[in-house]
Chain A
Amino acid sequence: MSLQSPFAASPLLAQVAGLTRDELERLQLVKLRRQLERLYVQSPYYRARMEFGGFKPEELTSLAMFRERFPTSNKADFLADQLDHPPFGHRLGIAREHVALVNMTGGTSGQGQEIYGRSQRDIHMQGYLHALPWFLAGLRPGDMAINCVPAGGVTTGGWGPGEGLRIIGATGFHVGGTLSTDAKIDLMLKLGDVNFIYASTNYLHTLTEALMRRDLDPQKVFPGMRALFIAAEGYPIEWAQKIEAFWGCGLQEGYGSTQCAGFGGSTCDKGVVTKDGKRGLIHLFEWETMFEIVDPGTGEPTPSGEVGEMVVTNLSIEGSAVIRFRTGDAARFVSHRDSGSGWGWNAIECGTIGRFDDMMKIRGNNVWPSSIDAAVFAHADVAEYAGRVFTTEDGKTEIEVRLALSDNAAMTYSPEQRQALFQSVRSAIKERNNIWVTLIEVERSELPEFAYKARRWKDERQSGYRL
């Protein structure tokens, strides 16, 4: 029996799908004003920002006024607030004794970890903001789900998925970081009727490689699989098409973060690739989280079709809520008018979300690791790669990419096939990023495996200038 559409299965979803843009923005304004009224009383950090903007919450008459008058915050602002008022900072906005879950950002930026105090109510909301995109993707009460993202710890990504699966009524196996890839596959084979997998893009690639290596056809061994759900990293369309064909089910993607308290949007039930082979869209859950996509230099709204920085405001989170937080995430904005969904929700292009602070300036070009990922992994016989940018002794900038072939290609490729593949990879990188790289083949075992977010690039140019 085919699965009922999520909008037919849930009157709540049908309702949000039926909101006009005006109705959606009216709902946002109601929730935003309530949020600011609460924070004006309970958060000295945000009260100071409203005073700087010269308005009180009850004077807020429009979303445009909010965008004009309320100053943005960034990671450095939050870290300074935490340092001055440990541990949560003055932005906490709820009584400390009502903090029931402490989350921290991953610390991968090297600047420090933001700390977030969540209430019992927020824990449900964080669960809901995971359950919502997964329900849209096809997960239903009673299903069996495999969570390949490491669970627990201090991150939102460690706690949100478990809560999301629990509140949706699914049976979750949280095997990320605790079982090897082969052990995960063995477990899934024992379970058999697995319906849903949540993994980072990179880990889904690893899992798929392992199934191929073991000559296992997921369509035969997991016939009940409804959806694969990925997050965190970019990928080429060709890869997504191959994944869907191999697994025989839809591939869906979400955009999420600690600041969003889960997922801020997803491809819903529409898939990451459109019927005509183009990139799909992540439709933003704007009734729970407000998004602005802005020019990072000017702060002005980005026109539809252009890349801008995601700025996030929590409408439904009370503990350590973020208000106009500059994420540093770079996404291509697609207005609700251009999204083709018929919904009032704005969208961003999926598969290409990068980081402004990951951007490398190489020989005058803006280069994002996600863009190189897309070029390299468009080649199905590439298993993994690692790159570094460095300065030679004579002061030139060089880019080296160490690349490992899939097991099958490594064993069977002739020297001519290797040369052709390497030439194709170099050309694809040049085409997307305007840089030529030096390619070196290495064994797969020489490159790391990533359980969550891949960190493939090292910028060693600074050390090249040491005297």
Chain B
Amino acid sequence: MSEQPPRDDDAILANMLREAESLCLSQDALLCGQYRHLQDRIRALIELRECFQIKAGG
């Protein structure tokens, strides 16, 4: 059985934020508010994980 690489939730969230920021450029007025909702949820998740960086000397 191959060994799983360690999860890097911070990197996953950073990628998701970049993708969500792209979605926010949408010209669809019905969807752009929902994309912003998604983007801000990701921002909140990134921020509430910040304590990991302090321990790591960040």
Nearest opposing residue in chain A for B39, CB measure: A120
A128 within 8 A of B: yes
Cα A30 to Cα B49 with chains together (Å) = 14
Task: Evaluate contact between A128 and B44: CB separation under 8 angstroms.
Answer: yes
Mark A119-144 against chain B: 1 for CB-CB distance below 8 A, else 0.
11111110010000000000000000
Q: By the criterion of a CB under 8 Å from any partner CB, how many residues of chain A are at the interface?
A: 22
Q: Restricting to B8-37, which residues have a CB under 8 Å from any CB of A?
A: 36-37
Cα A119 to Cα B51 with chains together (Å) = 22
Task: Evaluate contact between A19 and B54: CB separation under 8 angstroms.
Answer: yes
Contact partner of B55 (CB less than 8 A), chosen from A18, A122, A125, A288, is A18
Contact partner of B49 (CB less than 8 A), chosen from A12, A18, A26, A31, is A12
Task: Evaluate contact between A120 and B50: CB separation under 8 angstroms.
Answer: no
A287 within 8 A of B: yes
Nearest opposing residue in chain B for A125, CB measure: B44
A316 within 8 A of B: yes
Chain A residues with CB below 8 A from B55, complex form = 15, 18-19, 23
Nearest opposing residue in chain B for A120, CB measure: B40
Cα A391 to Cα B55 with chains together (Å) = 60
Contact partner of B54 (CB less than 8 A), chosen from A30, A125, A288, is A30
A360 within 8 A of B: no
Task: Evaluate contact between B41 and A23: CB separation under 8 angstroms.
Answer: no
Task: Evaluate contact between A316 and B48: CB separation under 8 angstroms.
Answer: yes
Interface-central residue, A19, A119, A120, A122, by most chain B CB under 10 Å? A120
Q: Restricting to A371-412, which residues have a CB under 8 Å from any CB of B?
A: none
- A15-B55, A19-B55, A27-B54 known; A120 vs B47 contact (CB < 8 Å): no
Interface-central residue, B36, B37, B51, by most chain A CB under 10 Å? B51
Shortest Cβ distance from residue B4 to the other chain A in the assembled complex, whole angstroms = 16
Shortest Cβ distance from residue A15 to the other chain B in the assembled complex, whole angstroms = 5
Task: Evaluate contact between B48 and A125: CB separation under 8 angstroms.
Answer: yes
Shortest Cβ distance from residue A101 to the other chain B in the assembled complex, whole angstroms = 11
Shortest Cβ distance from residue B51 to the other chain A in the assembled complex, whole angstroms = 5
Cα A18 to Cα B37 with chains together (Å) = 32
Cα A228 to Cα B41 with chains together (Å) = 28
Interface-central residue, B44, B45, B48, B55, by most chain A CB under 10 Å? B44
Shortest Cβ distance from residue A299 to the other chain B in the assembled complex, whole angstroms = 29
A212 within 8 A of B: no
Cα A122 to Cα B44 with chains together (Å) = 8
Cα A331 to Cα B32 with chains together (Å) = 45
Nearest opposing residue in chain B for A124, CB measure: B44
Task: Evaluate contact between A119 and B47: CB separation under 8 angstroms.
Answer: no
Task: Evaluate contact between A121 and B52: CB separation under 8 angstroms.
Answer: no
Chain B residues with CB below 8 A from A23, complex form = 54-55
Chain A residues with CB below 8 A from B40, complex form = 119-121, 123-124
Cα A380 to Cα B35 with chains together (Å) = 53
Cα A287 to Cα B55 with chains together (Å) = 13
Cα A27 to Cα B47 with chains together (Å) = 11
Cα A431 to Cα B50 with chains together (Å) = 48
Cα A27 to Cα B43 with chains together (Å) = 17
Shortest Cβ distance from residue B36 to the other chain A in the assembled complex, whole angstroms = 6
Cα A287 to Cα B49 with chains together (Å) = 10
Task: Evaluate contact between B50 and A31: CB separation under 8 angstroms.
Answer: yes
Q: Restricting to A2-36, which residues have a CB under 8 Å from any CB of B?
A: 12, 15-16, 18-19, 23, 26-27, 30-31
Shortest Cβ distance from residue B54 to the other chain A in the assembled complex, whole angstroms = 4
Contact partner of B41 (CB less than 8 A), chosen from A12, A18, A30, A121, is A121
Task: Evaluate contact between A120 and B52: CB separation under 8 angstroms.
Answer: no
Shortest Cβ distance from residue B40 to the other chain A in the assembled complex, whole angstroms = 4
- A125-B44, A316-B47, A316-B48 known; A120 vs B37 contact (CB < 8 Å): yes
- A12-B49, A125-B48 known; A120 vs B41 contact (CB < 8 Å): yes
Shortest Cβ distance from residue B26 to the other chain A in the assembled complex, whole angstroms = 16
Chain A residues with CB below 8 A from B36, complex form = 120
Chain B residues with CB below 8 A from A19, complex form = 51, 54-55
Cα A12 to Cα B54 with chains together (Å) = 12
Nearest opposing residue in chain B for A316, CB measure: B47
11 A-B pairs in the complex with CB atoms less than 8 angstroms apart? A12-B49, A12-B51, A15-B52, A19-B55, A27-B50, A100-B37, A120-B37, A121-B40, A123-B40, A124-B44, A287-B50
Residues on A lying within 8 angstroms of B by beta carbon are: 12, 15-16, 18-19, 23, 26-27, 30-31, 100, 119-125, 128, 287-288, 316
Residues on B lying within 8 angstroms of A by beta carbon are: 36-37, 39-41, 43-45, 47-52, 54-55
